[in-house]
């Protein structure tokens, strides 16, 4: 029959594996969500520049229409000047033409600054697109890795749980219960001893007690923390 102490050590190993897998499985979805968020932000930034270009193009077209509209008005006014009867009317028409021309020149200035801004964005957007693609691809690859890790971790958990269960079944009922109880309270139920200290609570063990442990023929608990102590050879 397998030594109960060795069996306990083995059980604790599987117990750890299960716990580690569970902890990692809690962490992984959070990491994936974080990466997805980063991708989203990057794509939004890029979309913002693209939207701005569209806005500028639209505004530019409106300004062009405004100018054409004013030109039409100016032409009409110029034609009217031939028909006026008084100097006063004539001056009034010219004033109106001047006003419209001045307006158009302002609109043209605005169009220039629109073109300038558009050009600036266009110049940097190709680089931004390339950078964003690289950034997103890298993050997506990382997400794939994490998803794969998730799957293998689930597999690992299942395997460790099965082994844990198998080995727990090999223990006498009262020992299985004791193990479970200490593990629930202390986290670690079994402590390996190589010198004269409990590795769970660092309490010193007496020589007499250590000699008893070295015999490895019964279940002995730490007098301080209550964990199961297992003596192992220092080089083992
Ligand atoms: Zn202890």
Is the pTM above the cut of 0.85? no
Q: Please state the rounded mean pLDDT for residues 43-49.
A: 94
How do residues 177-190 score in pLDDT, each as one tens digit?
999 999 999 999 99
The token duo for 169 is 């079944």
**Closest CA relative to residue 31, chosen from 147, 109, 120, 183:** 147
User: In the chain, what are the domains?
Assistant: 17-160 (1.10.287.1490), 172-236 (no CATH)
- Residue 26 CA to ligand 1 center (angstroms) comes to 30
**Closest CA relative to residue 228, chosen from 181, 165, 169:** 181
- Residue 227 CA to ligand 1 center (angstroms) comes to 6
**Strand (E) or helix (H) holding 191:** strand 190-193
**Number of Cβ atoms within 10 Å of the Cβ of 93:** 18
- Residue 10 CA to ligand 1 center (angstroms) comes to 19
Helix axes 87-170, 4-81, angle to 10 degrees: 170
Confidence at residue 235, expressed as pLDDT on a 0 to 100 scale: 67
- Residue 189 CA to ligand 1 center (angstroms) comes to 10
- Residue 165 CA to ligand 1 center (angstroms) comes to 26
How do residues 107-159 score in pLDDT, each as one tens digit?
999 999 999 999 999 999 999 999 999 999 999 999 999 999 999 999 999 99
């Amino acid at each position: 029959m397998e030594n109960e102490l060795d069996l306990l050590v083995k059980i604790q190993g599987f117990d750890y594996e299960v716990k580690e897998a569970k902890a990692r499985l809690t962490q992984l979805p959070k990491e994936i969500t974080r990466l997805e968020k980063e991708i989203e932000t990057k794509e939004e930034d890029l979309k913002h520049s693209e939207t701005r270009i569209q806005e500028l193009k639209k505004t530019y077209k409106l300004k062009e229409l405004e100018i054409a509209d004013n030109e039409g008005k100016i032409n009409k006014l110029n034609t009217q000047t031939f028909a006026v009867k008084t100097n006063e009317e004539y001056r009034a028409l010219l004033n109106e033409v001047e006003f419209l021309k001045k307006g158009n020149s302002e609109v043209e200035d605005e169009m220039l600054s629109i073109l300038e801004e558009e050009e600036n964005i266009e110049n940097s957007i190709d680089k931004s697109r390339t950078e964003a693609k690289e950034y997103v691809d890298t993050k997506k690859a990382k997400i794939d890795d994490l998803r794969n890790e998730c799957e293998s971790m689930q597999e690992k958990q299942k395997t460790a749980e099965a082994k844990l269960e198998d080995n727990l079944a090999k223990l006498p009922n009262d020992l299985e219960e004791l193990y479970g109880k200490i593990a629930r309270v202390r986290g670690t139920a079994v402590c390996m001893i190589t010198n004269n200290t409990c590795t769970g609570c660092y309490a010193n063990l007496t020589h007499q007690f250590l000699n008893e442990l070295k015999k490895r023929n019964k279940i002995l608990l730490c007098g301080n923390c209550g964990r199961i102590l297992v003596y192992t050879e220092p080089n083992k």
